Amino acid sequence: MAKYREPADLYPRDGAELARKLIDDLGLDVRLEEGQPNQDHYDPTSRTVRLSPDNYNGRSLTAVTVAAHEVGHALQHAEGYRPLLLRTSLARTAMVAEKLGAFALMAMPVVAVLTRSPVSGAGMLMLGIGSIAIGALVHLVTLPVEWNASFDRALPALKDGDYLPEQHLPHAKKILTAAALTYVAASLASLLSLYRWIAILRR
């Protein structure tokens, strides 16, 4: 994505303008907001597409392609795409599970000392590892939702609307692939966190 942020003024529309055009063309009842840096996402609770400042204001290939990807999620929601609805609930579960797992692992030594029971400590360890592993798995199983938003929603919209020159589409596909792999990256980060905890506990 960093590679295709240049040239920064490649298109007449910035990411926000393209997103708004797609939203209007698709007849979607969603809001569009400038969000936090590096936090492009669609919020199904408030029906809001949020683009990071770089992508909201940028006119690069990355900006317009990421904008289309997030509108793709809004289109999924409008059409009642069930995997997206499932992903939304699972994502909440993943966040809670990861926090619970981290807390259990930090509390494990204290619980073991207070209870003077190896079983209690082992139970907290299993709870912590299991919770973090669940979080990683949940992130991983949401990949089809991201893939659908990229290649069944965003890419056709960009093609059909002639928003990108034909020669730019192969590069846009690379960006859409990166956007679709966001949750895979989150899953790998969770697994690395799990490995770090196991390494610490083995010392």
pLDDT per residue as tens digits for the range 153-171: 999 999 988 899 999 999 9
| 146: annotated active-site residue | no
CB atoms within 10 A of CB 112: 18
**Alpha carbons 175 and 169: distance in angstroms, whole number:** 10
Catalytic residue among 17, 70, 98, 146, which?
70
Per the CB < 8 A criterion, the answer to whether 117 and 39 are in contact is no
**Alpha carbons 153 and 132: distance in angstroms, whole number:** 31
Q: pTM score, two decimals?
A: 0.78
pLDDT per residue as tens digits for the range 41-79: 999 999 999 999 999 999 999 999 999 999 999 999 999
Q: What whole-number percentage of the chain has pLDDT above 90?
A: 53
- Mean pLDDT on 21-37: 95
**How confident is the prediction for the chain on average, in pLDDT?**
85
**Alpha carbons 152 and 168: distance in angstroms, whole number:** 18
User: DSSP states of 166-189 as a string?
Assistant: GGGHHHHHHHHHHHHTHHHHHHHH
Checking phi first, is residue 27 left (phi over 0); if not, alpha (psi -120 to 50) or beta?
left
Q: What is the pLDDT of residue 181?
A: 87
